[in-house]
Structure 1
Amino acid sequence: MDATSDLSMKSDEVLRLELEVLRRQHRDLDEAIRALEDRGTADQLTVRRLKKQKLQLKDMITRIEDRLIPDIIA
Structure 2
Amino acid sequence: MTEEEIAATRANLAELHVEHHDLDLVIDHLLLSPPPDDLLIRRLKKRKLLLKDRITQLEGMLEPDVQA
Q: Please say whether Structure 1 and Structure 2 have the same fold, judged by a TM-score greater than 0.5.
A: yes
Which deviations, in whole Å up to 9, do the C-alpha atoms of 1:3-59 show, x marking residues without a partner? xxxxx7971000000000000000000100000001231110000000000001101
Aligned partner of 1:54 in structure 2 is 48
Moved segments of 4+, more than 6 Å: none
Work out the number of aligned pairs and report it.
67
Distance 1:27 1:55 in 2: 12
Distance 1:71 1:38 in 2: 43
Distance 1:53 1:35 in 2: 16
Unaligned runs of 5+ in 1: 1-7
1:70 Cα deviation from its structure 2 partner? 2.9
Unaligned runs of 5+ in 2: none
TM-score by length of 2: 0.87
Q: What percent of counterpart residues are identical? A: 42
Q: Are 1:13 and 2:7 counterparts?
A: yes
Q: Which amino acid aligns with 1:27?
A: H
User: Of 18, 29, 42, which residue of structure 1 is paired with 2:36?
Assistant: 42
Q: Which amino acid aligns with 2:12?
A: E
Structure 2 residue matching 1:11: 3-state secondary structure? helix
Aligned partner of 1:69 in structure 2 is 63
